Chain A
Amino acid sequence: NAGVTQTPKFQVLKTGQSMTLQCAQDMNHEYMSWYRQDPGMGLRLIHYSVGAGITDQGEVPNGYNVSRSTTEDFPLRLLSAAPSQTSVYFCAVVGFNYGYTFGSGTRLTVV
């Protein structure tokens, strides 16, 4: 089925560890975004990309890196995890008429 695939679904990290959250799409859309969801705060934009080789910062980019080498993949990297990065992370693909398709999320806990 066409859609957005996020891996892993769950992850526990120790403070200071690094990891990459994967996001892959088979919808052939140019625009992709990463959001984090925290209780009472809705979803906040971390980084977004308007196409391969082009990325930009969102509302809360500190502590996260992204790259976009292909249309299909948009990984999110945590360089040195902190407890404040405990959250649920969603990748989204933006289609026609600004229709967003979200992945099922990655629940990250930093201890």
Chain B
Amino acid sequence: GDSVTQMEGPVTLSEEAFLTINCTYTATGYPSLFWYVQYPGEGLQLLLKATKADDKGSNKGFEATYRKETTSFHLEKGSVQVSDSAVYFCASHLGSGNTGKLIFGQGTTLQVKP
């Protein structure tokens, strides 16, 4: 079945370090891909998304490129801040007929130290 796999955490970085969180997916079709962020004690917020191959989603300095050939959607940021400390979820979603079925990875905890 369809699934999303993320690198295991926690990931601990120093402020201004480069961040990569790996995400790969399996799907029978061509899903839309998302990154969500969850700050402590809060719900999930959409960080960025890409709906087709080679699309790049970006927001708040974070980027991810939809790579069909490697079935990947890795999250990157050039210089992390302490305020980026959170749990990051990669997710996939197939088109109409599957609305409401967002498939999540297991989440990766990021801790940024000053």
Contact = CB atoms under 8 A, between A and B. Distances in A.
Interface of A: 31-33, 35, 40-45, 48-50, 56, 58, 90, 92, 94, 97-100, 102-105
Interface in B26-68: 32, 34, 36, 42-46, 49, 51
Interface of B: 4, 32, 34, 36, 42-46, 49, 51, 89, 93, 99-107
9 contacts: A33-B101, A43-B102, A44-B104, A56-B100, A90-B43, A92-B102, A100-B36, A102-B44, A102-B45
A104 B104 contact: no
Contacts, number: 61
Contacts of B106: 40-42
Q: Is the interface of B mostly helix, strand, loop or mixed?
A: strand
Contact of B43 (A33, A94, A97, A105): A105
Contact of B104 (A42, A50, A56): A42
Contact of B101 (A40, A48, A105): A48
